[in-house]
Structure 1
Amino acid sequence: MKRIKNYVAIALATVTILTTVSGCSPTQKAETNGALPVNSDGNVTTEVKERGLKFTISQEYMDKGVTLEGYNQNLDGYRIVSITYYSPTATEALETIINMDEEKRTKEVSDEYTQKIWNTSRTIMDIVMLETDEYKKLVDSGTSLDKITGYSPSEELGINDGYTYIISIPDLDNGDLSEDEIKQYNQCKEYMKTVKENLSFIPVELENTDTVLGETMPSFTTNDLNGNAVTNDIFGKKKLTVVNVWGTFCGPCIEEMPELQKWSEEMSDNVQIIGLVGDIEGENDKKHLDLAKKIVDKAGVNFTNLIANDDFKDMMSGIIGFPTTFLVDQNGAIVGDPIVGAEMDSYKSAVEAYLNGNAN
């Protein structure tokens, strides 16, 4: 089973997940600039509880391309949160690849655009948090702060909830930025000094690193993608149900759809598969509903796909990656371990093991 533990930068993830990884984190669904409430002073205040930090960022600079990324881990496994400058060139490239027809969005094309975005965006703040005991051991062993963050210069920011924080406003080259973008990049980088001054600590609420679903499916009344009402009664129709939780932003989810459909046609009469779309935000979210319909239609899917409405809220909060697939018996009990990532062989093995162990 592959678990997606190292979240990539949100914008790059939107492109990269289309072709390179086996699963997607729900946190990769980015907040758009301006989506958060703007204070009367023109600033946006955001709490990143998973990192114990509160950020205050000017809407003016967000409009220039300053983006607070989702919490993450760096290549050494240290918990981080970053701020990135996305130039107009990077933003245009991102929008182009996202809106590109799927048949044109080959791996080679995606790689090309990913590289372009990488070369025209720049990290302008990176904060690493380490348990203070671990931090002391690293420093005592001669490990530099630059080594910990991977950027230079780096310095200690402070201590909060048993964690020591190291911050960097890195000195990077200009990549492939244009002259105007270089000027804007330097303005945004200079502004990070103000963001640093306004940083404040809040209690740390670390993210879950394991999928936690509970023992049974929640009681629900929802609709499928065609508007038909569906309740928990759907599980009573078969001895076993394979539930595949997916999102419209998740490349691996989309790629495995035709294979899931083929499998559904080969299943024994006492097994069924249903999809659960995790990123349709309410009945009025026509954008994601239409996109989900387009995805299943293109894949030739005819098994039921449900909308994960508020009845699924608690269960969805325990899901760390898309797709997540698990088994439900005819009484609505969740059986076996969830599978995170596009792992068809694992799905099939789980069903076979359950049926062989529950022959009656």
Structure 2
Amino acid sequence: MNKKNISIALVLSLIVISSAVFVTVKNKQPVTKKPVILQNKVVQPILTPQQERRKQGYIKKNSLGVEYKINAVLWTKYDDNILVDGIPNADDEDNTKPVYGGKKVSYISKDLIKQYEEASKIKDKKENKAKTSEILSKGKDFYSIVVYKKDKLPSEVQIKKDVKCENQQKLGEKENFVFYFGYNNFNDKDLPDGEKVIYKELYDDAMAIKSTISTFKPLTLADLFKETNNFKFKLKDLDGTEVSSEVFNKNKLTMVNLWATYCGYCIDEMPTLQSLSKELANNKFGVLGVASDVYTKDAVDKSLAEKAKKIVTEKGVLFTNVIPDDVMKYDGPLGYISGYPTSFFVDSNGNIVGDIIVGDKTKAEYTKIIEKLLKEVK
């Protein structure tokens, strides 16, 4: 259930670091942190400050420059009812636009979910988008975060329009960035009694963000990926078969597609990715999917794993889809991104090449990008 302009996922964090997947960064070697047993006593590994904060429930959104604490278990439990969306007209590259980035988090009732699922069956894309957008707009917004470019900061009237919440709170400034937090008053009107309880739990936790949120200079995907030398991993696919980064050796170029089971645009573009994988196979091109949300709370969510398997089967996907682990999700590519789908490309040695793609694209757009990279990589 996502609007275009990036299906943003709420990346929930409670972590105990493992070392099955890692991204090698210049001057930094991956560190294995496992309990050490000495004379029948288990000595727990020393966590870095950031790892300790994640363990406490803090999530860090590098692309927005914010960090705050939430009840990860609660939000994961009701993730089917949560819509995380981008802020219209946000652009981290166009300096003429005032909004650098942001997100809005809303509650979507079970009734709206049913309406959305029916509307998603509409074949006409324009009508489909209009109807699904109309339905999602009826959700109950919890909060929003909007980051402005300081030298383009708009009027208070415009800020209220951008934040789209009854209450606006300026969080502060960092270099050329100004941060705002918006939140709505409690409103469980029109919700069934059973959902009122769910809504209140989520609302109360969302309001607690106000007292824990802190800001820092936002980091672009280019900032986060630019020092990454090599993408390595050893994971399992949706069928439980082990898959390692050696899979990249089979092709000249591989597209790594990060998606989530709740991301409508991720699912909609799967047939396109499958088609590209098949049609460009002779050019040594392949696709590797990462079912990003299947791994939650330091473990594989079996129900989400089954949901992911059902999705790829229904969409006719034949390329491999792997399940991430702690390091990939929190200290690797999944820890860098702010929304789904996000894709990047690697050569046969796992070196990241080309630009990071946020959001979905048409088959023609993907083809143009892929053919260009195939000519550039060795």
Specify the TM-score bucket, using the shorter chain as the normaliser.
Answer: 0.5 to 0.7
Over 3 Å counting, the alpha-carbon distance change for 1:341 and 1:269 in structure 2 is same
**Counterparts of 1:7-156 in structure 2 under 5 Å?**
14=1, 16-17=2-3, 21=4, 23-27=6-10, 73=87, 77=99, 91-97=109-115, 103=121, 112=131, 115=134, 118-119=137-138, 143=155, 145-150=156-161
- Does the 8 Å contact 2:235/2:324 carry over to 1? yes
SS at match of 2:282: coil
Match of 1:240 in 2: 253
Secondary structure of the 1:269 match is helix
Post-superposition Cα deviations, 1:313-334, rounded to whole Å, max 9, x if no partner, equal 3222122332222222121111
Equivalent residue number for residue 346 of structure 1: 365
Alignment partners' CA distance in 2, 1:152 and 1:234: 46
Q: Distance in 2 between matches of 1:310 and 1:56?
A: 18
Counterpart Cα distance in 2 of 1:236 and 1:22: 33
Across the two proteins, how many residue pairs are aligned to each other? 295
Contact 1:223/1:229 (<8 A) preserved: yes
RMSD: 4.8
**Structure 1 residues 94 and 258 mapped into 2: Cα distance closer, same or farther (>3 Å)?**
same
Could you tell me which amino acid in structure 2 is paired with residue 246 of structure 1? Answer: W
1:149 alignment partner AA: K
For 2:152 and 2:5, the matched residues in 1 are separated by 31
Please tell me whether the aligned partners of residues 120 and 128 of structure 2 are also in contact (alpha carbons under 8 angstroms): no
**Structure 1: segments with no counterpart, 5+ residues:** 1-13, 32-44, 58-66
The residue correspondences of 1:291-302 to structure 2 (distance < 5 A) are 291-302=307-318
Q: 1:109 and 1:92, CA in 2 relative to 1: closer, same or farther beyond 3 A?
A: farther
Q: Pick from 263, 268, 291 the counterpart of residue 250 of structure 1.
A: 263
Partner of 1:308: 324
- Tell me: CA distance 1:336–1:55, structure 2 relative to 1, closer, same or farther (3 Å): closer
8 Å Cα contact 2:112-2:135 kept in structure 1: no
Structure number with the bigger relative contact order (C-alpha 8 A, sep ≥ 6) is: 2
Match of 1:280 in 2: 294
Pairwise CA distance, 1:160: 6.4
* Closer, same or farther: CA 100–333 of 1 in aligned 2, 3 Å: same
Q: Structure 1 227/273 Cα, relative in aligned 2: closer, same or farther at 3 Å? A: same
Report if the CA contact (8 A) 2:254-2:288 is conserved. no
Per-residue CA deviations over 1:247-274 (Å, capped at 9, x if unaligned) read: 2222222112112222222224351323
1:4 corresponds in structure 2 to none
Residue segments in structure 2 that go unaligned for 5+ positions in a row? 14-56, 72-80, 90-97
- Cα 1:331–1:94 shift into 2, 3 Å: same
Query: What is the aligned partner in structure 2 of residue 322 from structure 1?
Result: 340
- Residue 225 of structure 1 and its aligned partner are, at CA, apart by 1.5
Closer, same or farther: CA 111–287 of 1 in aligned 2, 3 Å: farther
Q: Percent identity?
A: 27
Displacement after TM superposition at 1:126 (Å): 6.7
Counterpart of 1:221 in structure 2: which amino acid?
K
Deviates more, 1:109-118 or 1:273-282: 109-118
Question: TM-score, with normalisation over the residues of structure 1?
Answer: 0.61
Aligned letter for 1:205?
A: F
Q: Greater share of strand residues, 1 or 2?
A: 2
Residue 180 of structure 1, CA deviation: 10
- The 1:94–1:48 alpha-carbon spacing in structure 2 relative to 1, beyond 3 Å, is farther
Aligned to 1:7: none
- In structure 2, relative to structure 1, the CA distance for the partners of 1:109 and 1:46 (3 Å cut) is same
How big is the shift at 1:72? 5.9
**1:130 CA displacement:** 5.8
Q: By how many angstroms is 1:30 displaced?
A: 8.3
C-alpha distance in 1 between matches for 2:286 and 2:300: 26
Task: Tell me: CA distance 1:111–1:231, structure 2 relative to 1, closer, same or farther (3 Å).
Answer: same
Equivalents in 2 of 1:179, 1:280: separation in Å? 28
CA contact (8 A) 1:280 1:288 kept: yes
Q: Structure 2 length as normaliser, TM-score?
A: 0.58
CA shift for structure 1 position 297:
0.7
* Equivalent position of 1:289 in the other structure: 305
* CA 257–118 in structure 1, closer or farther in 2 if over 3 Å, else same: closer
* 3-state DSSP of counterpart to 1:294: helix
